[in-house]
């Protein structure tokens, strides 16, 4: 019984190693955002309720769709940005100032389409679309 299980574990170890190498290749393939000539459209954040304010002076994704009551995390990186919502009923508080290397969460209790702008970089605009529960996407 013992020799059989030891050969099985050797096979499992080889498999685990192959998975690790594959994961490493994926990670390194996607992490070239520091390079000056990285590909234009960055992949959307892993968190489905996250907007990244990127060093490339863009909000990613430019449009995020969530449900009423969802909390959206705005992630600020190495370049300072802020978030000012267009005036309308139901908007959460603006994220003023120069925000670097922080994450700020805002909750959207009311269905609607909320546009926002970075006042440091007026060309940076984004939209959060908030749908009532049961609305088809």
- Site for Cu ion, rule CB under 5 A: 81, 118, 120-121, 124
- Give 76 or 114: the residue with its C-beta nearer to Cu ion: 76
- What minimum distance in Å lies between the beta carbon of 76 and Cu ion? 9
- What minimum distance in Å lies between the beta carbon of 42 and Cu ion? 16
- Give 118 or 130: the residue with its C-beta nearer to Cu ion: 118
CB-based contacts of 120-126 (< 8 A; 24+ apart in sequence): 120/80, 120/81, 120/82, 121/57, 121/81, 123/57, 124/53, 124/57, 124/58, 124/59, 124/81, 125/59, 125/62, 126/51, 126/59, 126/61, 126/62, 126/63, 126/64, 126/83
- Give 81 or 106: the residue with its C-beta nearer to Cu ion: 81
- What minimum distance in Å lies between the beta carbon of 40 and Cu ion? 18
């Amino acid at each position: 019984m013992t020799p059989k299980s030891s050969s099985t574990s050797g096979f499992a170890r080889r498999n685990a190693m192959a998975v690790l190498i594959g994961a490493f290749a994926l990670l390194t393939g996607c992490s070239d955002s520091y390079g000056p000539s990285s590909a234009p459209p960055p992949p959307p954040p892993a968190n489905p309720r996250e907007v990244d304010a990127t060093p490339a002076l863009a909000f990613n994704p430019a449009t995020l769709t969530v449900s009423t009551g969802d909390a959206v995390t705005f992630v600020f990186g190495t370049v300072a940005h802020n978030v000012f919502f267009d005036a309308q009923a139901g908007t959460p508080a603006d994220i003023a100032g120069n925000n670097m290397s922080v994450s700020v969460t805002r909750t959207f209790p009311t269905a609607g389409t909320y546009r926002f702008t970075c006042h440091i970089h007026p060309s940076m605009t984004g939209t959060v679309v908030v749908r009532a529960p049961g609305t088809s996407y």
